[in-house]
Amino acid sequence: MARGSLHFLRVQLQNITGFCFQLCKDAQAMNRQYSCKISELEAEAEQARAELTEAQKQLQDLEVQGGRDAADRSKAQECRRKIAAAQSKVQVLKQKQRDTVQLASLSAQSERRVQELERNVQNMKQQQDLLQRRLREESQQKRRLESEMQKGKHRVKELEIKNEQQQKILRIKTEEIAAFQRQRRSGSNGSVVSLEEQQKIEEQKRWLDEEMEKVLEQRRGLEDLEGELTKREEILAKKEALLLERSDLETKKLRSSQALSKDLLTLSSRIESLERELTERNGLLRSSSAQDSQQIRQEISNLRQEKELLFKQKVELDDKLRQGNLLSPEEERTLFQLDEAIEALDAAIEYKNEAITQRQRQLRASGSMLTQWEMNLMAKLTYLSASETRALLCKYFDKVVSLREEERRLQMALAELELRVEEQQNLVEWLEAALERQQLEADRRLTQQQKEHERNIQLLLQQCREQMDEGLAGRQRQYEGLIHSLSKELNFCKIANQELNIKLREMCGLVNHAGEQSKGPNCDSRLSSGVQGRLCEDAKSTLDTEKVQKSRGEMRELVHAPLPPTWRRSSLPTEDQYSMEELRQRAACELSNNRIIQPSMNSTHWSGTRARRELRRLSLNTGPLHSSSAIIDVRRNPV
């Protein structure tokens, strides 16, 4: 891992140093070029200023002389043209000088970039030294851990060999104990072991148990050490992968910075070429005719726009290179995350190293104790007699048998528990399936009930709508029939009223005419009797019509129905009132006319008066019919 990072740093240092040297050379060349160009521009500017001052002096001299001939005027115009050309040239030279100064500042910025790169190179060299020191430390630690692992493996192998030997010895001893027990049961050569010997055997058995526990702890410690070592190897592999990814991103960043620097150089060269083209076009513009000047000005404007665009691009690239925004935001975030992950892995590696060293110290201490225990064990076993050794082996054989029985019992219990767990899992799965079915059934019922409820609501709404429509339609038809019948009656009453009014006017005219032209009382009496007969007939017909209309059931309902609260007598139509007023006025006129009639006209006067009274009474009798129609009209359109 560290070697790979060191190789990557060496490559980066070589690339950056070469790039720095190239940038230094380019910057020096650009500085020399721009300094020469600035001096040339300053000389051209001085020359243009001198020409401008000379032309201005000549123009002033001509103006002082005040010559009016054509030669003087042509000289003055030529001086003015020279002055304008010199001014334009001075402006162009000033613009060029400003552009050159800006380009020189860009070269200075590139020098600052070179300095920054040199500082980065120094930092990378320091990082390289640090990584070399860490590489040496890690290599030393790795060698130390490898030697310790080799020792631990060798020790494990020795312990395994010793364990095999002890197992063989135990098998032999168990066989001897079994033979001894068979002999003791047969009673051929048996001898009873005393109580003291049994106690001694028990103590030795406890001691052996303690020593076996120590051996088991030693083995567990070795297993833990191997696990820690494997975990540390995994962490180191992850760290190497992260370092490789980070090195790839840094390489990409360096390449992008180099590409930006090349783009800057190409833009600078393009800007210089555009400046040369602009100077050539300006020279052509001064020496060109009026026809070609427009095209040359258009080319100059296009070249200036292209120059401004390239200059903006160069400034943007320079800002990007100065700020260090060479990667995309996602790559920058990935690089930051990689740095954090590498720091976390370094901390984890340090923790694992401490844990491994602690385990190794514990294993060394326990290993020395184990060797001491082996020596003590062998010494104690050599001091034991044959009978004690047989008794101890018999005890351990019994213990092994009991342990095997306990193991078998535990296996059976474990199998039973596994079966129970499997049954419980099946039960849980069945209950979950039943619960899911119940939920689906409940959802189905709920949706069905909602549909039924919505269907019932729609049905009730439809029934209510139909009932309302039927009621409204029936009422509407009833009202339309009543309105139609009432409108017919109203029209009939209006026609009857008009006919009566016409008849009344005719009768009044006949009465007046008869009163003027009559010569005897007999004629007057006959006329009055005829008029009275006709009036009586008309009155009878009107009364019969009125009785027929009142006999109708709809008229009775409307007459007996309550009137609206806004009804007033003044709201009735005034058609009858107008007719009554007209009758009154005619009666008054006839009365005034009759006052100046001769005394021989008394019978006619009284008969006309009676006729007028009959007409008035008849008109008053026809009033209820019109008033009833007016009442009906008020019910339709209340005030």
Q: For helices 329-383 and 195-287, what crossing angle results, to 10°?
A: 160
Mean pLDDT (the chain) is 71
Of the candidates 513, 514, 509, 508, the residue with the CA atom closest to the CA atom of residue 527:
514
Q: Are 528 and 610 in contact (CB under 8 A)?
A: yes
Q: pTM of the predicted model, to two decimals? A: 0.31
Quote the tokens at residue 128. Answer: 């390289």
Q: Are 568 and 630 in contact (CB under 8 A)?
A: no
More reliable by pLDDT, 600 or 614 = 614
Per-residue confidence (pLDDT) for residue 430, from 0 to 100? 92
Q: Convert 64-82 to b/e letters by CB count within 10 Å (16 or more is b).
A: eeeeeeeeeeebbeebeeb
pLDDT at 498 over 80: yes
Of the candidates 261, 269, 272, the residue with the CA atom closest to the CA atom of residue 322:
261
The amino acid occupying position 144 is R
Determine which of 45-54, 488-497, 531-540 has the lowest per-residue pLDDT on average.
Answer: 531-540
Distance CA 561, CA 181 (A): 133
Q: Where are the alpha helices (DSSP H) in 288-328?
A: 290-323
More reliable by pLDDT, 274 or 152 = 274
pLDDT tens-digit readout, 342-401: 888 888 888 888 877 877 777 776 666 666 666 766 776 777 677 777 777 777 777 777
pLDDT at 1 over 80: no
Quote the tokens at residue 400. Answer: 């092994």
- Residue span(s) of the chain under CATH 1.10.287 come to 1-130, 200-384
Q: Which CATH architecture has domain 1-130?
A: Orthogonal Bundle (1.10)
Determine which of 191-195, 550-554, 564-568 has the lowest per-residue pLDDT on average.
Answer: 564-568
Q: Which fold has domain 200-384?
A: Helix Hairpins (1.10.287)
Distance CA 300, CA 277 (A): 9
Per-residue confidence (pLDDT) for residue 506, from 0 to 100? 86
**Among 136-140, 182-186, 368-372, the range of highest mean pLDDT:** 136-140
Of the candidates 156, 618, 129, 201, the residue with the CA atom closest to the CA atom of residue 397:
201
Helix (H) / strand (E) element for 158: namely helix 70-186
pLDDT at 122 over 70: yes
pLDDT tens-digit readout, 582-594: 555 665 555 444 4
Q: What 8-state DSSP symbol labels residue 597?
A: S
The amino acid occupying position 313 is Q
pLDDT at 608 over 80: no
More reliable by pLDDT, 524 or 20 = 20
pLDDT tens-digit readout, 142-175: 788 787 778 777 777 777 787 777 777 777 777 7
Q: Categorise residue 194: left if φ over 0, alpha if ψ from -120 to 50, beta otherwise.
A: beta
Per-residue confidence (pLDDT) for residue 141, from 0 to 100? 78
